[in-house]
Amino acid sequence: MVTYNLFLRGVVKALHSQKSATHRATLSITRKPIFKILGNNINLYRRRLMKLPILITVLFLSFLFLNSFQKSATIIPFTNAPGVGPAKDTVPIWTKNLYEVHSTEFRNRAVPVIIFFKKLSDTTSYCVYEVNDGVCQITFVATQRNRRDFKRAKIGNICDADFSLPTYAYTIYKHDSLNRTIRSIDHVQKAKEKYLVKDEKGERFKHGYNLDNVETLKYSTTSTVIINKDGNLIVKK
């Protein structure tokens, strides 16, 4: 913006100097004969007009130079590029046909949904899928060999809590797709023995107690699933 204002001031100044010089020349020749006045004025205007485009061109080039210099002097802040992790592959139709189907395996004939798929080789691959049957959300890892179901393991299980039962357990997981490992953590919450009675059906609460108003014991266990490139699953406790 500053360089543009300088350019406009230069043009105005040039035009003003041209006008002043013409006015002075006109005054200086008023005492000369009329034919000399006309001839001198024509020559004067011709010389001035010939110089004016050159002056405007010089000022315009100066404007371009200052503008380019100003842009080159601008500091561009450094920004970090976003991190890139291992991307999952597009889920093929044949994989969906293996797992995303209606069956009697799950309550309410719930249909699984594949949330991750990755090729391991030309003949093997693996996926992670989950199913919500209205009570529990269960997550599995499954491998495929030659486009057929090969191995499978449960890695997550979260159900609605039933406080009338003395034990509540749920399983969460963390999937490391770069190293092809899945770490599952089983969390267990169990009522203390003094609030329970035992019979032939197992343990149950004494009258007036439930899992929400008693003391509990909490513990967790961890297991790791390793996905081999040949499609086998290795479970380490």
Domain borders along the chain are 2-72, 93-236
Give the single-character DSSP code of 155: E
Pick from 1-5, 85-89, 178-182: least confident: 1-5
- What confidence tens digit (pLDDT) does each residue in 176-217 have? 999 999 999 999 999 999 999 998 889 999 999 999 999 999
When pLDDT is cut at 50, 70 and 90, the band that residue 25 belongs to is: very low
Q: What is the pLDDT of residue 52?
A: 55
Whether the pLDDT of residue 122 is over 50: the answer is: yes
CA distance 191 to 219: 12
CA distance 200 to 175: 41
Please give the helix or strand (H or E) that residue 19 lies within, else none: helix 2-28
For the record, the structure tokens of 19 come out as 């006008």
For residue 95, how many other CB atoms are within 10 A of its CB? Answer: 21
Give the single-character DSSP code of 31: T
For the record, the structure tokens of 18 come out as 């041209």
The answer to whether 225 and 182 have CB atoms below 8 angstroms apart is yes
The 3-state DSSP class for residue 56 equals helix
Mean pLDDT of 17-24: 48
pTM: 0.62
- What confidence tens digit (pLDDT) does each residue in 129-171 have? 999 999 999 999 999 999 999 999 999 999 999 999 999 999 9
The answer to whether 151 and 229 have CB atoms below 8 angstroms apart is no
Q: How far is CA 117 from CA 91, 98, 110, 120, in A?
A: 6, 13, 20, 10
Whether the pLDDT of residue 120 is over 80: the answer is: yes
What is the residue whose two structure tokens read 């020349």?
25
CA distance 145 to 232: 10
Q: What is the pLDDT of residue 88?
A: 74
CA distance 23 to 30: 11
170 burial class (0-12, 13-18, 19+ CB within 10 angstroms)? middle
The residues, ordered by sequence, that sit 6+ positions from 89 with a Cβ below 8 Å of its Cβ are: 117, 118, 119, 125
Pick from 33-37, 84-88, 227-231: least confident: 33-37
Cα 187 off chain centre by: 32
Helix axes 34-72, 2-28, angle to 10 degrees: 170
